[in-house]
Amino acid sequence: MAEQGGGGGGGGSRGEKNMAVASPTSSRSVTETVNGSHKFVIQGYSLAKGMGVGKHIASDNFTVGGYQWAIYFYPDGKNPEDNSTYVSVFIALASEGNDVRALFELTLLDQSGKGKHKVHSHFDRSLESGPYTLKYRGSMWGYKRFFRRALLETSDFLKDDCLKINCTVGVVVSAIDCSRLHSIQVPDSDIGAHFGVLLENMEGSDVVFDVAGEKFHAHKLVLAARSPVFRNEFFDRLEEDTQEVVITDLEPKVFKAMLHFIYRDALIEDVEMVASSSTCASSESDTLMEKLLAAADKYGLARLRRMCESHICKDISVHTVAKTLALADRYHATELKAVCLRFAAENLAAEPSLFACFWHLAVMRSEGFNYLKENFPALQSEILKTVAGCEEDCSSGGGKTRSVWAQLSDGGDTNGRRVRQRT
């Protein structure tokens, strides 16, 4: 009996040893900020004064942490009790959101080069109550008494009637970090690099392009996969196999840049360097980008066309918008065309009485607008209609606005007088 009992006890001991023990687990909550910045340039400060207490100039919307934000500048202040003694600056939540927690920083830039910026920041100090909470769309954080206006107008913050404000938003996000102890990092795709090597060493090339005497070796399959025009040229036509193609309407450097994109899905470094260089090379950059845009349109390279549009639109001004609009229309650059039309409308919709004369002198008398009028009359009409349409949406004095634009499009000034066109 005792032995049997001992045997039973031995069996129980072995069972305990065979029990599976679960590995300990852990998790970690990480709360941090997703930061982003926006630079807001306010040109024509003296013209903005007098618009009224509580009225603001808004920056373009910018995205940080999945939300849209905007900077509001009140040249006459936001608080009626201050009687326009101060300018006010606020950051507003411009998209839908509930209880969005964030940190903010507003910096008024010193334009003298001394670096004595005026900074209001949550980032460099401890906040007793934590980050600021914006309850809903339209909620704002900022300062009613951001700067005394009389001091601002005699300071180094105002230069050439221009103010520059930097805004940083840090949206608070929390997440559970479930990263494993052992992980394997997957590298970024390098298919473009491999195809680029294929282009450079000419291995397996089966077609040669002659561009103004310069030879370029390439691969029909790669070209056909990327461009519907090349696919039609090499595989859809019922003709003999083409070994050499003569290109007469592109320069070698433009064709080289296009091939680089086809193989690497990126702009060639020479193009990037010229596009990002100083203003003295801007005309060279514009010319190269414009020619590359034409090539992208000819060969059906939609992504390359969008890249060119992105670069060209950065330099739109009252002196270039007309020719850029014609360029965009000619090469089916729909995004660039929309930007040109928006540029015209937005610069005038804010205050037609202030900008109408400026538009007439700076744009309608420019060489670009004359070029547009002579070669693309339909576009000239479209740009004026866009401006007028925006005015009808944004202005309460619709009838007066339309009469202003009727005078401008007909060659008059804002007082109804005829203006002699420059010849």
Stated pTM of the model: 0.52
Contact 244, 252 (CB under 8 A): no
Q: Could you tell me the two tokens for 372?
A: 């547009």
CATH topology (fold) of 191-315: Potassium Channel Kv1.1; Chain A (3.30.710)
CATH 3.30.365.10 fits domain 30-174: no
Separation of alpha carbons 248 and 240, rounded Å: 21
pLDDT at residue 110 greater than cutoff 70? yes
Contact 93, 137 (CB under 8 A): yes
Residue of 321, 262, 340, 337 lying closest to 295 (CA atoms): 262
pLDDT at residue 402 greater than cutoff 50? no
- Mean pLDDT score, 403-408: 45
Question: CA torsion angle for 201, 207, 208, 209 (degrees, to 10)?
Answer: -120
Q: Return the bridge partners of 174, or none.
A: 31
Instruction: Tell me the H-state helices in 149-268.
Output: 149-152, 191-201, 220-226, 228-231, 252-264
Strand, coil or helix: 423 = coil
- List, for residues 114-163, the tens digit of each pLDDT value: 889 999 888 877 767 788 899 999 999 999 999 999 999 999 999 999 99
Residue of 345, 421, 341 lying closest to 379 (CA atoms): 341
Q: How far is CA 69 from the centre of its chain?
A: 14
- Mean pLDDT score, 87-115: 92
Contact 383, 325 (CB under 8 A): yes
Do 30-174 and 191-315 share a fold? no
> Which tops the pLDDT comparison, 206 or 279?
206
pLDDT at residue 280 greater than cutoff 90? no
- Mean pLDDT score, 379-407: 54
pLDDT at residue 360 greater than cutoff 60? no
Q: Return the bridge partners of 41, or none.
A: 164
Average per-residue pLDDT in the chain? 79
Q: Both ends of the chain: CA-CA distance in Å?
A: 126
Predicted pLDDT at 420:
42
Question: Which residues are within 8 A (CB) of 370 and not within 5 positions of it... i.e. 6 or more apart?
Answer: none
Predicted pLDDT at 418:
42
pLDDT at residue 323 greater than cutoff 70? yes
Backbone angles phi, psi at 64, to 5 degrees: -140, 130
- Mean pLDDT score, 322-336: 89
Any idea where the domains of the chain sit in the sequence? 30-174, 191-315, 334-409
* % of the chain with per-residue pLDDT over 90: 48
Separation of alpha carbons 226 and 265, rounded Å: 10
> Which tops the pLDDT comparison, 392 or 316?
316
Residue of 205, 283, 276 lying closest to 245 (CA atoms): 205
Separation of alpha carbons 74 and 146, rounded Å: 10
